[in-house]
Amino acid sequence: MRKNKDEKPYKNEYLIYNRKSTDDQDNQKNSISYQTIEAIKFAKREKLSIAKVDIQGFCKGGIISEKHTGFKEDNKLTIGADGRSIQYQINRPKFEQLVHALINGEYRGVIFLCWDRASRNKNDDNIIRKLMKFNDLDIRFVQANYDHTSAGELHMDVDGMFAQHHSRNTSEKVTNTNRKLRAEGVCTYKAPIGYLNTGDPRNKPFDPERASLVKQLFEKYAEDTWSLADLARWANDNGLTMRPVRRKRTTEEMLRDEEVKIEPVARPITFNHIHKILTNLFYIGKVLGNNGVYVKSISHEALVEEDLFYRVQGLLNKKRVSVHYKNKLYFAYRGLIRCGHCERVYTPYKNKIKQKEYYGARCMKNCINTKRNIDVDFIEQKVGAIMFNLSFTKEEKADIDSQVRDEVSTLEDKRVAQIKAIDQEKKKLNEDLSYLRKNKLTLLKNGVYTGQDYLNEESDIAKKLENLREQEKSNNVSMQEVVKDVVFLSELLEDAYLYYTLANPTEKQQIITKVFSELLLSGETLNYKCRNGFKVFENKKSLLCDPAGSRTPVNGLKTRCPNH
């Protein structure tokens, strides 16, 4: 154990990184042992010292072994607040840990067998390339040498391209093969309970232990005297269980170098399992083909006769009846109020003694909410106060009117200047777009753009033009018209508040859902989120200070304004 966290005892030594691919099991270089032997030979030949370090969940004796595909990449992308930094997720946990260790200078470098053991996607390619440009890092490949010349860069490009192509080609072959098999009626997925999965998609024989019991489930339900719950109890009493399966490995187990043995467990039959069994067309000799259409199977025989199967379907449909209330109870705040801490919804109910409408929240165990049951009077008082405070007072209207008179000239000048700037930018972009389209063949022949780069550039310009058109539309409205619309909307809110105080529950629900998207209760305070048309009133203070601020949308999803 290090005495000082700043010490780097292995800063002059190397790690070995091996990756066993999940999409290319038969390739020799996919073997962890093969990669390890070749890397150790390479280290001895090049006189590179391997770090003798053991880190739980990372490496053993300086050797990292990871079982993960290098082709799949996360589609999530995060752009920093400054607009310059871009972040994405690395899907391989050990590879991510390796990158951090190298950047921190904990090791001199790392040895890979070849490029496709390090990466098979563009995002991770970029990481490796950047690491190779660090002056104090040494990234080595056993089967290739990328020197710092244009030829070395080309060699790297070609290897990266072929690594990605290999995975894409493998994925495409698997997809096409599965489509072909499904069209023929071959079962390309696991057979349900009652059949055995032998590893051969063309052979799904009966399970001698479970097949007869599964058939009896259909026969008993067809008698119309058994419920699904009764059948679940019968199945468990007669020893029918789900097929033994292994649970998913935990993150800790996935990071271990040694193989983790997980014993398969046969779970008991439940109500839902019975329903899935009784509605599965697999039992009448059909399999799911292409485009969601069932076809006749050549992989297995029918366990249940079609006549029996469809009799069961008729009984299931007959019993699937919804209850419709003649006099439906309307609760004005159903689904609208949530706990401000754990965000659990408040559900309406009638108090049997007081015969009064209440709302209760089943908050999470660690929730600090102290007001988990509230009556309708409490809600109406709070909602009424919010609606009253959303609209402008006479003094606020006068203040806005005064500001508009004083500042309208300045604001109009700004608006006109913005319109001119947008026109100039649109003109420039249209010229660029026209040049691209006129000289498309020349640009592609001379290698200025690849086909994909050209399409990306054209698409980028088109998007910029569309954004400018949107800005132009918003700038076509004068400041006076904007403020006039906001004041008119405020007057509508004032009328809505008066109507709300006299409305019945159904009418209150209509008013609330027009103004608010959500209400959040924290103690005695009812916070709110306004719908799009009323978001401007969530930030009244900034609006009163700058009438033009009404033209900037408020992000109601992130801002929660408290009740005044």
Collapsing DSSP to helix, strand or coil, 184 comes out as helix
Which two three-digit tokens encode residue 300? 């297995």
Residue 84 has what pLDDT? 58
Class for domain 14-166, per CATH? alpha beta
pTM of the shown model:
0.42
pLDDT tens series, the chain, 564 aa: 444 556 788 989 999 998 887 655 555 566 888 899 999 999 999 999 999 999 888 888 999 988 776 555 555 555 555 655 555 667 788 888 899 999 888 999 999 998 888 887 777 778 888 888 887 889 999 988 887 787 777 877 777 777 667 667 777 887 888 889 988 899 998 999 999 998 898 999 999 999 999 999 999 999 988 889 899 999 999 989 888 888 887 777 766 666 677 888 888 999 899 999 999 999 999 998 888 888 999 999 999 999 999 999 988 887 765 555 555 556 777 788 889 888 888 888 887 777 788 889 988 888 988 888 888 888 888 888 887 777 767 777 666 666 655 555 666 677 677 778 888 888 888 888 888 888 888 887 787 778 778 778 888 888 887 877 777 666 555 555 555 556 666 666 667 677 777 777 777 777 777 778 788 888 888 888 877 666 666 665 555 455 444 433 333 323 333 333
Q: Would you call 193 exposed, middle or buried from its count of C-beta atoms within 10 A (0-12, 13-18, 19+)?
A: buried
pLDDT for residue 297? 92
DSSP state of 561: B
Query: pLDDT at position 5, please?
Result: 53
In DSSP notation, 349-384 reads EEETTTTEEEEEE---TT---S--EEEHHHHHHHHH
Angle between helices 271-278 and 228-237 (to 10 degrees): 100
CATH architecture of 211-319: Alpha-Beta Complex (3.90)
Is the Cβ–Cβ distance between 18 and 113 less than 8 Å?
yes
The values of phi and psi at residue 356, to 5°, are -130, 150
Phi-psi region of 343 (alpha: psi -120 to 50; beta: other; left: phi over 0): left
User: CB pairs under 8 A, 24+ apart, for 208-215?
Assistant: 210/240, 210/243, 211/303, 213/238, 213/239, 213/240, 214/240, 214/277, 214/283, 214/303, 215/303, 215/304
Establish whether domains 14-166 and 211-319 are of one fold: no
Query: What does the domain layout of the chain look like in residue ranges?
Result: 14-166, 211-319
User: 50 with 62: CB under 8 angstroms?
Assistant: yes
Angle between helical axes of 271-278 and 306-319 (0-180°, round to 10) = 130
Contact 148, 133 (CB under 8 A): no
Q: How far apart are CA 508 and CA 333, in angstroms?
A: 9
**d(Cα 159, Cα 129) in Å, to the nearest integer?**
12
